[in-house]
Amino acid sequence: MTLPNLSENCVRQIDSELLAAAGDSGHPPRILLLYGSLRERSYSRLLSEEAARLLQHFGAETETFNPAGLPQPDAADPTHEKVVELRAKAVWAEGMVWVSPERHGAMTGIFKSQIDWLPLELGGVRPTQGKTLALCQVSGGSQSFNALNQMRVLGRWMRMVTIPNQSSVPKAFAEFDEAGRMLPSPYYNRLVDVMEELVKFTWLVRARSNYLVDRYSERVESAEQLSKRVNQRSL
């Protein structure tokens, strides 16, 4: 893979042995990328593609979901092929990258629809809880953080470990060449920072996530349900 904008003298390999929990399987971190535009030259898609290249460079395995053809939430059955695909990829992932354009001061409806199709619980599996998340946005004008701020709230709602760093690319039309590759700039450097940080956090979190999300309130609820079942059997 060619990453001509990286300064090889400044790139460090991620020390997975330092970061991983005891008993970690050691497989490459699995990252799902979502983007929020259907334009032929979609800058959120181009940024997600650049992010995927960087993630692979840092040793991760990536999948990208194409939102074309995904129905609006509640407008189709969850057995729709695009919904099934999205949910399967979310379950597969150990971390995610969300990339949305900012439109009218907010994330796009196309992006939000993807998250709205992801339930907090799916057949006993929680597709997002305890997984890592990195946030990026592109803008047609001056730099803004509105979509990022909204996605950060959304990531918390989906019970994800949202990393501190984030990427905002203003005037995105000027940041990519004709082939769709991101040009050298401080914005590119920040994207590198974010993807490197995401891979590090994913190594840190993935084998510890079950412990991190083990909650007192849920243990109380489970104990009460078990007690009810025992009492019902004894009647």
Q: Is residue 19 part of a domain?
A: no
Q: Is residue 105 part of a domain?
A: yes
2 pLDDT above the threshold of 80:
no
Residue 227 sits in which domain range? Answer: 26-234
Return the pLDDT at 228: 84
* Pairing of β 30-35 and β 61-65: parallel
Q: Domain with 135 in it: what CATH number?
A: 3.40.50.360
Q: Average pLDDT for residues 45-52, to the nearest whole number?
A: 98
Q: Is residue 11 part of a domain?
A: no
Q: Is residue 8 part of a domain?
A: no
Q: Is residue 93 part of a domain?
A: yes
Count of structural domains, the chain: 1
Q: Is residue 58 part of a domain?
A: yes
Task: Give per-residue pLDDT as tens, 150-159.
Answer: 999 999 999 9
DSSP 115-135: HHTS-S-BTTB-SSTT-EEEE
Q: Is residue 192 part of a domain?
A: yes
Neighbours of 103 (CB within 10 A): 17
Residue 4 identity (one-letter amino acid): P
Task: Give per-residue pLDDT as tens, 152-209.
Answer: 999 999 999 999 999 999 999 999 999 999 999 999 999 999 999 999 999 999 999 9
Q: Is residue 6 part of a domain?
A: no
Q: In degrees to the nearest 10, what's the CA dihedral of 14, 15, 19, 24?
A: 100
Per the structure block, which two tokens stand in for 132?
């890592």
Q: Average pLDDT for residues 33-46, to the nearest whole number?
A: 97
